[in-house]
Amino acid sequence: MPRFPGTSHTNATLSATVFSRFAQRLKDLRGVTTYPLHVGDTWREPLEAARAEAQRTAETPHLHTYSPVQGEPALVAAAVRKVKARTGVDLDPADVQVTVGATGGLSVVCQALLDPGDEVLLPAPFWPLIRGIIASRGAVPVQVPLMDRLAAGRDAVDVEAALEAAVTARTVAIYVNSPHNPTGVVLDDAAAAAIARVAARHDLWVLCDEVYEDLFHGAAAPTPLWTRPDLRPRAIVVHSLSKAYGLAGARVGYAHGPAEAMAAIRAVHTFQAYGTAKPMQLGAARALDDGAAWLAETRAAYRDAAAATAAAFGAPAPAGGTFLFADVRDLVGGDDATPLLLALLERGVILTPGGACGDAYGGFVRVCYTSVHPGELASALAIVREVVADLRAGGPTA
Ligand SMILES: Cc1ncc(COP(=O)(O)O)c(C=O)c1O
C-alpha cells in the first residue's frame, strides 16, 4: 500500500525531542546563564591520547579508511584486557563487537534478538532512549516500576515478583542497567539472583547495559551482573566509552555475549552501521589501556557532585552513575513536576522531566550532576535550593 508522504508506523511513537519538552521556553530565555543538567554528559576533557586531535595519519597510515566490521583490532584487544581487569573474565576476542556507542550497540542487539511484537521487560524508571530503541524494532517495552523503589530503600522490594508479574508468552528479554540511569541504584546480589531466576524460568535473554560500570560512588567496584554463572550464558553485554572515559562524542562502545548471538549481532551491525569512526576507535583503545588515572579522578569528582546534588534536593545520595532521580511529588503537590521544572528553567537550570523515564514518573525530575563543572554545579544547586524553599513556602516562583 502506498505510504507517501507518511512514514513508518513502527516508528511513529518515536520523537527526536525526548529531552526538550521545554525547548521553546529555553530559546526565549535571554541573558540568563544556563545549566544543562538534563543531558548525561561531562565537563571533563578526555585523556589526551584518546582525543580526536591525538590521532594522526603520520602515525597511522590509512587512518580514514574503513575499519573491519568487528572493529579495530587494537580496540578489540583493549576491550578484552579491560574486561579482564574489571571482572577477571577472559573473553574470546571473536565474541566482541565494536559498536556505535552503547546506543548503536543496543540497537543492533535488539535488531538481532527481537522480532516485531516481542516484549522486553524494562525496569522503570529507565534511560529514555531504551524505550525507543526497543520500539523502533517493532517490539514492546513493558514498563515494570521497580528501580525507584529500590533507590528509596524504604520497604523490601520483591524484584522477582515484580518482574514475574510482567512476563507473558511474548516476553523475550529483560533489560538491566546497573549502576542505573536515572536512579543511581547499584543492583545487589539479591536483585541479580532474582533477575537470573526469572530469566531462567522463562528462557529470556538478559540485556546488560554496563555503561556506568566504572562510575560507582562506594569504595568497592560493584560486581557486574553478567559475570554471574547463572546469567552469563544468556547475557548480551553492552559497554561504552562515553561515560567513564568522557568520549560521548566519539560514539564508541562494544558488546559481547555468547558466540552464536554475537555472530547474528555482527551480521546486523554490518548492514546497520558497518563500523564506527576509525580515529575514534583508536582513541578509545588508548583510553581503555591508559585511562585508569583519568578515571579515578573522574570518579572522585563525580562522587562529590552526586553528594552535593542529593543534599540540594534533600534526597538520598545515588550509589553510582551520573544522575539523581528526585521524587518531588510532595513539593509540587502531585504527579506533575512541571511547576518545579518551569521555575528552575526560568532561572537557567534545565532538568529532565521524570516522565521521560517512564509513565509512572511525572512527579520526579532527573538531574545530571556531571554535565557542568563543579563550580557551575554549585551555582545551579544554589538556585535549586532557593526554588525548592520557595515551593515549600507555598509560593510558585515562576
Ligand atoms: C543507561 C544508558 N545506556 C546507554 C547509553 C548510551 O551511551 P552511548 O553514548 O555509548 O550511546 C546511555 C547514555 O546516556 C545510558 O545512560
Q: Is 240 in the pocket of ligand 1 (CB under 6 A)?
A: yes
CA atoms within 13 A on the CB side of 190: 6
Low-confidence stretches of the chain (pLDDT beneath 50): 398
> Of 262, 291, 320, which residue constitutes the final position of a domain?
291
Do 341 and 209 share a domain, yes or no?
no
Q: Would residue 398 count as lying in a domain?
A: no
Do 226 and 128 share a domain, yes or no?
yes
- What is the grid cell recorded at 351? 532538568
Which pLDDT score is estimated for 20? 63
Close Cβ partners of 308 (under 8 Å, ≥ 6 residues apart) = 369, 374, 377, 378, 381
Residues in the chain: 398
Amino acid 256 reads: H
Do 229 and 276 share a domain, yes or no?
yes
Q: Is 91 in the pocket of ligand 1 (CB under 6 A)?
A: no
Q: Is 143 in the pocket of ligand 1 (CB under 6 A)?
A: no
> How many structural domains is the chain composed of?
2
Q: Would residue 177 count as lying in a domain?
A: yes
Close Cβ partners of 145 (under 8 Å, ≥ 6 residues apart) = 124, 125, 162, 358, 360
C-beta separation of 127 from 181 below 8 A: yes
Q: What are phi and psi of 147, to 5 degrees?
A: -70, -35
Pocket test for ligand 1, best of 187, 242, 369 (most atoms within 8 A of CB): 242
Atom of ligand 1 at shortest distance to CA of 322?
16
Do 36 and 61 share a domain, yes or no?
no
Do 258 and 381 share a domain, yes or no?
no
Which pLDDT score is estimated for 222? 97
**Cβ count near 12 (within 10 Å):** 10
What CATH number does the domain containing 40 carry? 3.90.1150.10
276: left (phi over 0), alpha (psi -120 to 50) or beta: beta
Q: Is 279 in the pocket of ligand 1 (CB under 6 A)?
A: no
- Residue 34: domain span: 23-45+293-392
Q: Would residue 256 count as lying in a domain?
A: yes
Which pLDDT score is estimated for 153? 82
Angle at 18 between CA 17 and CA 21, to 5 degrees: 70
Which pLDDT score is estimated for 12? 85
% helix, strand, coil for the chain, step of 5: 45, 15, 40
Which pLDDT score is estimated for 160? 97
Q: Is 177 in the pocket of ligand 1 (CB under 6 A)?
A: yes
**Cβ count near 146 (within 10 Å):** 24
> Of 231, 265, 291, which residue constitutes the final position of a domain?
291
**Residues 356-389 pLDDT 10s:** 999 999 999 999 999 999 999 999 999 999 999 9
Q: Would residue 89 count as lying in a domain?
A: yes
Report the predicted TM-score, pTM, of the whole model to 2 decimal places. Answer: 0.96
Q: Is 254 in the pocket of ligand 1 (CB under 6 A)?
A: no
- pLDDT above 90 covers a percentage of the chain that reads 90
